[in-house]
Structure 1
Amino acid sequence: MAKENFTAERIKSYQCEQGKQQTIHWDAKIPGLGLRVTQTGTRAYIFESRLFGKTIRITIGDPRSWDLGKARAEGGRLKTLINQGLDPRELKAEAQAAHEAKAKAEASRTVTVGEAWGVYLEERRPYWGDRHYQDHVKKAQAGGQPAIRGTRGRGLTIAGPLHALMELRLCELRPAVVEAWAAREKVSRPTSTRLAWRLLKSFLSWCAEQPAFAPVVEGNPAKTKKTRELLGPAGVKQDALQLEQLPAWFAAVRQIFNPVTAAYLQTLLLTGARPGEVLEMRWEDVDTRWKSLTIRDKVEGERIIPLTPYVSHLLAGLPRRSEWVFSSSIASPDKAVKPISKPHQVHDKACTVAGIEGLTLHGLRRSFASLTEWLECPIGVVAQIMGHKPSATAEKHYKVRPLDLLRRHHEHIEAWILKEANIEYSPDLPLSTRLQLVASA
């Protein structure tokens, strides 16, 4: 088709040739500038040229948005770029990518720590156990909600250590801010703050790997020497029952007025489970037929351990008020019966009666592991019952202990502990006559 000098009138008059899908009319003034008219009447300025032996065609835009002067200027600009060996399409893609990156960087500067924390929890939840996930939720919770227990008499839930950081913009979370937070929080709750700090470090490392957050996270603001020194190392606790303390401890615990609490504390010692794991036990987890307990394990998800005779006796005497084995007699605000709170104070009073100092609930788990040393029980058996990860290649890959083998060792451990506590127990006797406390010599 012959070229013509474009004018406004000619632009309006150009039509698509009959029988074709589209027709391109070329401008005689700017080489490569054309007007494409489709069979449906759609019009657009285009530019066509050759670069490195290949034809390239670029759409400029609709004549209603581009007047003829601007279209010719754009055609001239594109021709200049091609003469320089540059592909306008690549330049446009690079400019668009740079613009989008800048826009994302600007947007990320407005993201709060709480918003990023929510994304972090949602993405990582499939890889965590429920207990680990709940740790993250509780450390960042707002608090101030009505509660009937666990609030030290305040009646309201307490804000988690990380809550103070949640409203900050992520770009504002600098080392000095984290250090000031650590110095403030460690005064009232050093242990909880130390755990929150570890969670915060992992969160910020994750942020540094995410395209949406990396532009505003410089390194890891929580990993500073000053923060580490402020919080100090986690203390190594040594509290555990001594062999000669067993009679006094059992006598004091069995005198606790609440039978649920008394059974809970004894179950802790005789299973070596974590305090929270025992509280989460449901009646469906207690299998009296196959004599097993299913424990909600924070490491592996769950583990199955033997239901030993004396523990079975303790559980058989508990009221079935709800799905929870160790259920509270007090309903929560939503009318649901939930597990009892961890009975720290009740246990402390029982230990005072027994003349034992500094024994914590987790110390009962430590006691189980320590007392098995007297029996020279295989360390892998104890670890499997307690839910510790195997620490050797043989334990990880070659030793598989079925429940009946664990039961043999576990029942032996329980019988020995009861004997050392001067408690006679026979599973063959009726419930009312099985148990008696034998006065120590």
Structure 2
Amino acid sequence: MKINKKNFTTGVIAKAQCDPGKNQAVFYDAKTPGLGLRVTGAGVKSFIFETRLNGKTLRRPLWSELHIRDHEKIIQAGGAPRIRSKKLTEPGSLAALSTIRLVDLTPELVTEWAKVEAVTLPPRARLALRLLRAFLNWCSRHSAYKAIVTGDAAQSRDARESLGKAKVKHDVLQREQLPAWFDAVKQAQNPVIAAYLQTLLLTGARREEIACLRWQDIDFQWNSVTINDKVEDFRIIPLTPYVSDILDFLPRRNRWVFSSPGAESGRLTDPSIAHRKACAIAGLNLTLHGLRRYFASLCEWIEYPAGIAAQIQGHKPQGVREQNYIRRPLDLLRMWHVKIESWILEQAGINFVSEQTGLKIVKQK
């Protein structure tokens, strides 16, 4: 199969489009081996670096899918049709800088950009500045690009001060709010999203860790879940009875546990929209990370060891003893994790009988 290659110019990149009915198209540069341009059906464009080893394609393994998506979203020009809405996409925070050549990008320009963005949405602009800094640092480490970037362009102190410091978030699900939250989540029209949100709460995991679960990661026989970990390569946590029950009823459309036929990746990518709707129904103001924060605070209620929650949630061990001496087996984690799940369900007033443990939760009157 012959691959069409062209010299990447501003005009060529601007005109590159995905064929109708296709999810994506990849174009390759004629000068730089391995440099490609990926264009999605929605018009989102991103550069990729590709090579082959033993007949297999390799692409930038140190950049996670979520990290790449953040870069794509923050630089998008906007104006493209949304998949599930009549509204058009909005320009990313860095779209205003996209027309400037890297060699012309200076700390002064970044500072002026920051002052403008600080007026609208500072949190998003702070993320954009971090991503810009990461991108420029990456360029400066590669000989093909270090000559055309100003390494300190995104290191401007004035830019950081204009955007301000991120505030510590305190949103957390309260014990008395559990019935309202579960009732609202279960009303979601999409059962996959309802299962995802409940799993997120009952495992205390990071949102993307759960969204990326594959069926091969779920062991229904030995009741375990293998999670791709942010700190370690992976961690194994218990598959608790209630979570096992709701996952077992999900459709097996593809390799993803929380599948989404309409998404390009085949899985859930932005469950926060559905969660905000559920919270609006329940009268709550809560982020997805607030669910993880709630799981971590449970030790105050049921008096379980803090290190147990940390290991289940994938936090880095604290202290010499935790780092070097404590190795908790899965059975021990399961004992406490089942107690955590049982307590949450009891407070939520959920009727559930576990075939594994005989646990019975009866809705309170």
Shorter-chain TM-score bucket reads 0.7 to 0.9
Q: Which moved more, 1:386-395 or 1:229-238?
A: 386-395
* Alignment correspondent of 2:309: 382
C-alpha distance in structure 2 between counterparts of 1:124 and 1:235, whole Å: 36
Structure 1 unmatched ranges of 5 or more: 1-116
Question: How far apart are residue 143 of structure 1 and its match?
Answer: 5.6
* Alignment correspondent of 2:274: 346
* Alignment correspondent of 2:262: 331
Question: How far apart are residue 241 of structure 1 and its match?
Answer: 0.9
Percentage of matched positions with identical amino acids? 51
Conservation of the 8 A alpha-carbon contact between 2:342 and 2:361: no
C-alpha distance in structure 2 between counterparts of 1:257 and 1:435, whole Å: 27
1:291 equivalenced with 2:216 (yes/no):
no
Which of 161, 165, 173 is the matching residue for 2:97?
165
Conservation of the 8 A alpha-carbon contact between 1:331 and 1:338: yes
Which of 289, 294, 297 is the matching residue for 1:362?
289
* Alignment correspondent of 2:87: 154
Question: How far apart are residue 318 of structure 1 and its match?
Answer: 1.5
Q: 1:203 to 1:318 in 2, by over 3 A?
A: closer
Question: How far apart are residue 311 of structure 1 and its match?
Answer: 0.2
* Alignment correspondent of 1:421: 348
Deviations 1:182-238 (A, max 9, x none): 234445543332112112223434555666655665561222222112211112111
Q: What TM-score comes out, normalization by structure 2 length?
A: 0.73
Query: Residues 42-121 of structure 1 correspond to what in structure 2 (within 5 A)?
Result: none
| Secondary structure at 2:266 match in 1 | strand
C-alpha distance in structure 2 between counterparts of 1:199 and 1:341, whole Å: 19
Structure 2 unmatched ranges of 5 or more: 1-45, 52-57
C-alpha distance in structure 2 between counterparts of 1:120 and 1:138, whole Å: 19
| Secondary structure at 1:401 match in 2 | coil
* Alignment correspondent of 1:277: 209
Q: Which moved more, 1:302-311 or 1:191-200?
A: 191-200
Question: How far apart are residue 308 of structure 1 and its match?
Answer: 0.4
C-alpha distance in structure 1 between counterparts of 2:138 and 2:59, whole Å: 10
Question: How far apart are residue 288 of structure 1 and its match?
Answer: 0.5
Which of 134, 147, 169 is the matching residue for 1:237?
169
C-alpha distance in structure 1 between counterparts of 2:151 and 2:321, whole Å: 39
* Alignment correspondent of 1:24: none
C-alpha distance in structure 2 between counterparts of 1:299 and 1:417, whole Å: 27
The structure that has the greater radius of gyration is 1
Q: What TM-score comes out, normalization by structure 1 length?
A: 0.62
1:202 equivalenced with 2:134 (yes/no):
yes
Question: How far apart are residue 131 of structure 1 and its match?
Answer: 3.4
Q: 1:159 to 1:215 in 2, by over 3 A?
A: same
Q: 1:131 to 1:299 in 2, by over 3 A?
A: farther
The amino acid across from 1:400 in the alignment is: R
Conservation of the 8 A alpha-carbon contact between 2:184 and 2:282: yes
1:315 equivalenced with 2:250 (yes/no):
no
* Alignment correspondent of 2:67: 132
Conservation of the 8 A alpha-carbon contact between 1:275 and 1:342: no
C-alpha distance in structure 2 between counterparts of 1:327 and 1:257, whole Å: 15
| Secondary structure at 1:245 match in 2 | helix
Q: Which moved more, 1:406-415 or 1:221-230?
A: 221-230
Conservation of the 8 A alpha-carbon contact between 2:202 and 2:243: yes
C-alpha distance in structure 1 between counterparts of 2:192 and 2:60, whole Å: 33
Question: How far apart are residue 325 of structure 1 and its match?
Answer: 1.5
Q: 1:211 to 1:148 in 2, by over 3 A?
A: closer
Count, aligned residues: 314
C-alpha distance in structure 2 between counterparts of 1:229 and 1:344, whole Å: 29
Conservation of the 8 A alpha-carbon contact between 1:132 and 1:298: no
C-alpha distance in structure 1 between counterparts of 2:104 and 2:252, whole Å: 51
